[in-house]
Structure 1
Amino acid sequence: MIARFLAGVIVVLGLVAPLAAQETTADRLRAHLYAGELAEGLAAMEALEDDEARFGLGVFTLFSGIEAMAQALCRHGFNPERGIAVGPFFGMASPDEQGRVPEPLSYEDLRGYISDFVAAMDAARPLLLAASEGEFAVEIDVMAIRVDLDGDGVAGEAETIGAFLALAAQTGERLDMGSGMAPDLDMPVHVFAFDAADAIWMAGYSQVLAAQGDFLLAHDFSAFFDAALHRLFPGAGLPMESRPSTGSLFMERDSDALLADAIAMVHTVNWSVIDRERLIGVRERALEVLDLSRQNWTAILAETDDHLEFIPSPRQTSQFATLGVSKETVDAWLTTLDVAEAIVRGELLLPHWRFEGVGFDLSAWVEGAERTDFVLLFTGLDALPYLKEGEIADAESFAAANAVFGGSIWNYALWFN
């Protein structure tokens, strides 16, 4: 009797155990994302060969690059709000100290971090595009994704995407100073079924981020670093912290110091171009972002399902109550991409407020500029060599976008990439 009972138990366990062990690739992907175990997640995906795993490879590579950059900056006390939100004149109280002593930061250190970040984004791009050739739909609660931002080995409750977006929204509102330009980061729905189209979207965003890094690396911004970046890295030993600010001119010490640093920041945005290939590469990345956005919409419009769509087609259900997608929305966005591409290529000139009948050739500036000085570009001197006659962008060029998106254009741009 006992023998038969034990045999029956063994048979039952033999049937149940495989069912309990059948953890899907999507389950493993989610578990590592929600635990902030990016390295472990990457290793797990490398050991698998299905479409979800290929998507996971791209996702974990992308987030690992972001995490590495965040940790590097955190070691040096990166805290723009603590560095900027000081002084009663600006109406913002400085937040509490984090309790960590920042490591000294050098200009060479920062360039190295940016270079590594660009390389990580470029590593993620082909993986995500390869994943986009497969068929999958991985449900992910984006607010539950964790990233070990401070590098202490644990991705805590405060290091979820949800916590980051909440903090960014609060900080944006404070630093926006009532201008209304801060994007709305509210996400009423945060579980999406990420599919092949979304892999293309992520690949595009990897290049948006890489382009910004390459733009900086194409220039010598060391004077800007010395004069102003103690505002972003307070306590990291930058030159303007070598002596405490004790005097005042107009208001009180902290507000006057912030005003002086703002002037120094503008004054030192006069960056020599030291890597022409990187600067031209920024233009090529911008063109790729535009092309990937088109590919993204081609994939979205070809979808026949309607399940927790991150970016829906006009036939699918939008998860955002205030951001709908119609045929007019898609058409306006695609038209805007065409206009943007013409500007990047220099086929459509940018208007300059100071000069009539001529426009600014952005592509020629990328290929020929010896420096980037935003003040002199705006006031006219540095724009002169790149002014020419031709078709100039105007309000009509963006009429379709203005008619459809209106005041929500920044929210749609952030969403659509």
Structure 2
Amino acid sequence: MGPVIDPVTPHEQLPDKVDVVVIGAGIIGTCTALFLAERGVSVALCEKGEVACEQSSRNWGWVRTTGRDSREMPLIQEAQRLWDEMNAKTGADTGLRRPGIAYLADSDAKAEGFERWLAMAKAHQVDSRLVTGAELEALMPGATRTYKAGLLTPSDGRAEPQKAAPAIASAAQRLGAKLFTRCAVRGLESEAGRVSAVITERGRIACSSVVLAGGAWSRLFCARHSLTLPQLTVRASVFRTTPVEGGPDSNLWTPKVALRKRLDGGYSIANGHANLAEIVPDHFAFFFQFLPALRAERGSLKLKLSSRFIEELRRPKRWALDAPSPFEANRCLDPDPVDSINQEAWDDLRQLFPVFQQAQIAQAWAGMIDVTPDAVPVISEVEQQPGFFVATGFSGHGFGIGPGAGKLMAELVTGAPPCVDPTPFRFNRYSDGSKPRLEIY
């Protein structure tokens, strides 16, 4: 079972018509709804399960510029600015703190990768820098080993995933957005070649635009409408500890363990270098598009053939809009954590920081990360279906960039000048002859 999420009271009565329907109430969907509502746009936010019940409440909680792809840099900088406003916008504590984030290098090759990233990031005037010696040791009080170098961004921070999206959803409601949970959107209706409505399990909502922020479910929803979205999923395991006194305040990443201090005094912990990729039919459908990523991540991805292959093979790709859809059959992706991956991180953490020897694992969980071939999200209108917009494929980077992505999507939907150039995030980059580019540092 996933973490306990702050509750949000949904609306009951489905509207006959709104300007925009947003599908998915994770961090991207709630931010999109908020920024649309701020513009006076009428919004229905529909979620098949509960607010933030999937990866948006299960991620590390990092709000980072460090290590971003160059194509994401303008958008994360906008997101960082918006995070600073989010407590005021929501009237709640989203948990935002800025103690910095440091990636630690245990080899010369890794340190050289940090230097290459810094050379790229310099053009964006970030406060990132390489740290060594006493400055690095100060970030790691009580550590039993040293590292070659650290890539530190002092302005980076953290927030609480179980609090942020619910607070943002509530703020959108106060501005007039209507929130419906346990209300799966089964599909789209079109008129004169443009989106005209969605059909939900509770009924029809007429609209002029639809935003799909469906995370790991986006590929399936698009396929229902003959739209090819190359997207796969990765299972990421996390656990949290009981409160710990004297541990690091900065977020830290090492090749074996990553950690973030929580508001409750404990820590969220993950393996810094291991996730599970369960082989499913889409791995074969998108094999060549994902091959560069698979090669680049071969040391960190654990491939496994499991029952999911048969489950997804049997899952309907098409369904009638007046009958239950696959989204109603599975309200919330709640995979089991991979114990061996978590245990490796737990063992290394206690060796690295003896202060954790007295701590206990309070809870463990896993979530499904939606990934694209180039590890860059899609934030775009779909040219083949006017009025249909997609925001997905954040590849494990979505929580921190969420406010920026939501603002950009609201601008695209309303035709306002975009806060950043949306070209790198276009839906059709996988089909227009562009060669996918994967940045590795």
TM-score by length of 1: 0.24
Structure richer in helix, relative to its length: 1
TM-score by length of 2: 0.23
